[in-house]
Structure 1
Amino acid sequence: MKILFSPSETKRELATHGKLEKSSLIFPYLYEKRLQVLENYQALLQTQDIPTLQQLFGIKDTQKILTQASKTIFDALTCKAILRYSGIAYDHLRFETLTENAHAYIEANVMIFSNLFGPLLAGDLIPEYKLQQGESLAGFKTEAFYKEHFSDAIDAWIGDECVLDLRAGFYEKFYTLKRPYITMKFLKKGKVVSHFAKAYRGQVLREIALHQPKDEKELSAIAFTNLRIKEILEQKLKREYVFEIIA
């Protein structure tokens, strides 16, 4: 099973590996394409234009902006993408508390869609960076660029495997699935949860890593903690599991 996942606005300042290089990321034959985005981003940082960087980073504090802008992503040390991100979903995944076998499963089968680095395997090595969701690089839309240049590679990576799409809506702009896939929606007292959906996506990914289902039948057999299947909706290629939160 292949799982598509979102990144997080917040990052850990963790350094466990060397500098970014071609072999750090999936699809090394497309590394030159990624470099176009990364060099564009680095050039914006070097301008030290405060209003532009406020928008880019999504922060107002001038000193924090200048500190962030002084970093060079090509010189910074890296860590695994699954450890770099630290938002709600990742807090509920609690990756570091999982078994080594679960680690290996996530690192090989979870693809995270970074608005700067594009599609990443969870085990890929990336430096710390800051880029607010939905922000372009001076008009350069990274989501459109990665969709154009990386979609065929993602198709090949997925192959004929079952796909679970746990991405937030914005990250669907990076890649459109062309084969049947599964999504999940979470309801609390009959109403769709949005912000807290991140927590349940993290929880679901954790339990998937422990059970390691190979297909939809095995996925549907997992009794997810505090979740009960209410219904399954079908629309074109999508099968949406609607869960009621019972905690």
Structure 2
Amino acid sequence: MKILLAPSETKRSGGSVSFNLSTLLFESLLPHRTKLLHTYINILQKGDMQVLSKMFGLKKESDILKYKEDIIHELTMKAIERYTGVAFDYLGYEKLDANTQHYIDSHVILFSNLFGPIRASDLIPEYKLKQGEAVGDIKTEKFYNEHSAALMEAYLADDEILDLRAGFYDKFYKPQKNYTTLKFIKDGKVISHWAKAYRGIVLREIAKAGVETLEEFMKLPIEGLSIQEIQTKKNKTEIIYEIG
């Protein structure tokens, strides 16, 4: 089983290993990633605050200037540690034992707005790119869909898929084979912000239990959640959780 996870706008600073673009998932994507990264770096170096503000989704000049760096020469950390949004806070990767961390490293694929599909264990530098914003004339979601969707299909051919991403990331890759997603409701209403937290919680519990199949996942008790309904339409199965 492989688990698809969205990235986060917020990221942890620092790192310990030099960046090597060729080590990321799918070596055949290297020329495409290189093209995109060169475009990104050229924009940083031109230093047009209006362009950077839009690309970063930031307004304060002091915040924008923080990211005016050549990220090729920045230090890296695991992608799963780099991201610090709500889902990642509730996952709490750094607090998990080595076996649980290894499960996440080997089962989770993240969809970076800049680097495309990457393993949780792939080493990436700190960067800033607002979801849905183009890098120059490159719409990254369309770019990676064109160059990596077929690679993802082949990579996941023998795996069941649990998709914990927000809907936007279907634009990067939408499974053509059967896959499973989650929806969280409370008092009859679909929740959005807290859905991020519960995705982190669900991933944490899956990893701690070492779940390898969707059947095992369906039987996994998760505190505060109960399965209310399971809906299947075409190749998508949606598990609807009631938050108790």
Q: TM-score, normalised by structure 2?
A: 0.97
Amino acid at match of 2:157: G
Match for 1:188 among 165, 186, 192?
186
Match for 2:73 among 68, 72, 75?
75
Kindly provide the CA deviation profile for residues 82-123 of structure 1, in whole angstroms up to 9, marking residues without a partner as x.
Answer: 000000000000001111111111111100001100001000
Query: How many angstroms apart in 2 are the aligned matches of 1:87 and 1:67?
Result: 19
State the partner residue of 2:86. Answer: 88
State the partner residue of 2:20. Answer: 20
Match for 2:200 among 176, 198, 202?
202
What is the CA RMSD across the aligned residues, in angstroms? 1.0
Query: How many angstroms apart in 1 are the aligned matches of 2:106 and 2:71?
Result: 24
Q: Which runs of 5+ in 1 are unaligned?
A: none
Query: How many angstroms apart in 2 are the aligned matches of 1:227 and 1:40?
Result: 44
Kindly provide the CA deviation profile for residues 33-73 of structure 1, in whole angstroms up to 9, marking residues without a partner as x.
Answer: 1111111111111111111111111111112212311x111
State the partner residue of 1:216. Answer: 214
**Aligned pairs (5 A) from 1:129-144:** 129-144=127-142
State the partner residue of 2:52. Answer: 53
- Return closer, same or farther for 1:139/1:21 CA change in 2, 3 Å cut-off: closer
State the partner residue of 1:240. Answer: 238
State the partner residue of 1:171. Answer: 169
Query: How many angstroms apart in 1 are the aligned matches of 2:98 and 2:65?
Result: 39
Query: How many angstroms apart in 2 are the aligned matches of 1:106 and 1:92?
Result: 14
Q: TM-score, normalised by structure 1?
A: 0.96
Query: How many angstroms apart in 1 are the aligned matches of 2:78 and 2:87?
Result: 16
1:214 aligned counterpart, secondary structure: coil
Moved over 6 A (4+): none
Structure 1 range deviating more: 27-36 or 186-195: 27-36
Query: How many angstroms apart in 1 are the aligned matches of 2:80 and 2:229?
Result: 31
- The count of aligned residue pairs is 244
Query: How many angstroms apart in 2 are the aligned matches of 1:12 and 1:238?
Result: 33
Kindly provide the CA deviation profile for residues 3-53 of structure 1, in whole angstroms up to 9, marking residues without a partner as x.
Answer: 000000000002022223312x11123211111111111111111111111
Shift of 1:139: 2.8
Query: How many angstroms apart in 1 are the aligned matches of 2:32 and 2:136?
Result: 18
State the partner residue of 1:4. Answer: 4
Shift of 1:217: 1.2
